[in-house]
Amino acid sequence: MKLIDYLSAERGRAKLVAAAANTSPEYIRHVAKGRKTPSLPMARAIREATGGSVDYDDFLPDKA
């Protein structure tokens, strides 16, 4: 599942993921929209914060 889809599924998820990943909701939204690429430790933290719903390969660009 893409991070943007995970965040859109329920209001307030960006705050929860950000708190669990020790970052800001704004940064999480930037990652979700593809404006920023997370480091491996941050991708791991996001994966853990989403209970594995968002996995490492979900941060890769869509294949054309």
Q: What is the pLDDT of residue 61?
A: 72
Mean pLDDT for the stretch of residues 6-29? 97
Q: What is the pTM of this model?
A: 0.90
In this structure, which amino acid lies at residue 53? S
Which two three-digit tokens encode residue 51?
């209970």
pLDDT number for residue 18: 98
> How would you write 8-35 as a 3-class SS string?
HCCCCHHHHHHHHHCCCHHHHHHHHCCC
pLDDT of 63 strictly over 90: no
- How far apart CA 28 and CA 26 sit, in angstroms, is 5
| pLDDT at residue 23, as a whole number | 98
Q: Can you tell me the mean pLDDT for 36-50? A: 96
pLDDT at 59: 83
* C-beta neighbour count of 64 within 10 angstroms: 3
Q: How many CB atoms lie within 10 A of CB 57?
A: 7
